[in-house]
Amino acid sequence: PALPALLWLALAPLPGAPGPAARAELRVRVRLPGGQVTEESLQADSGSDCISLELRTADGALVTLTADFRQEVKIFRALILGELERGQSQFQALCFVTRLHHNEIIPSESMAKLRQKNPRTVRQAEEVRGLEHLSMDVAVNFSKGAQLSSHIHNVCAEAKEAIYTREEDVKFWLEKGVDGSMFEVLPQTSDLPDLQRCKLCADRWKPCICSYSLSIEWYPCMLKYCKSRDAGGKVSSYKCGIRSCQKGYTFDYYVPQKQLCLWDEET
């Protein structure tokens, strides 16, 4: 059988005997929905138990996903090119912070051991996971965000006034003992009856509900296990590769003026 594109070159440590902290960076060529090929950077640090993936989308936005396994937090950051002729700055930064669930992505220790075979090969995900539509109804205070995840300080530095999360995720983190003063519930349609979606709002200076979509085109979502049989006939399993996934997200969130959401317009 053909070898998997990404191979394990180190034995997994024995249960209960964690291996030394490892850091690794991998670059993978992936195909975007329109057919363009882009390079995706994957970094893993088993010492801080986190991974990050970064890619540039077809419209030029730089999208980063950081998974903090220790705090059960994942952070999406988008650096979106601004429309200078319409009064926007050079780029606009957004951060969306959500709960990281078990088995969404392979562990940092496993990611740090991945080595690539055939680096020029253009990858396409083996599995397309369903689009997730998230209502980001809470703002996160940047100066206090390190209590939620130390990575917020670095990842969201350009998005200090635009860090969003969900009330249901906040409840989960509060139960874990996170300080609730870093969260502020954003205005909702029930509070402002004339609050529209930005794409339907004619006035560029009115508040509205913005929508932003992004896609992680390729990421290691599951470990693959192979079986081996020793001389005595005993069967054992071992990690022998990864399964790759693609997943899209759409985030809805409040903005104080449509000028901050010019991409969300009907063409």
Share of the chain above pLDDT 70, in %: 88
Mean pLDDT of 222-248: 86
Which DSSP string do the residues of 183-216 spell out, in sequence order? EEEPP-TTTSTT-EEGGG---TTS-EEEEEEEEE
H-only helix segments in the chain: 108-111, 151-155, 167-175
Average pLDDT, the chain: 86
Q: Is the pLDDT of residue 247 over 70?
A: yes
What is the C-alpha R_g of the chain? 21
Q: Is the pLDDT of residue 24 over 80?
A: yes
* Span 129-185, pLDDT tens digits: 999 999 999 999 999 999 999 999 999 999 999 999 999 999 999 999 999 999 999
Q: Is the pLDDT of residue 9 over 60?
A: no
Q: Is the pLDDT of residue 6 over 60?
A: no
Mean pLDDT of 202-220: 93
Mean pLDDT of 113-135: 89
Q: Are 127 and 246 in contact (CB under 8 A)?
A: yes
Q: Is the pLDDT of residue 12 over 50?
A: no
pLDDT at 90: 77
Least confident residue range of 192-196, 225-229, 263-267: 263-267
The partner residues of 64 in beta bridges, in order of sequence, read 54, 77
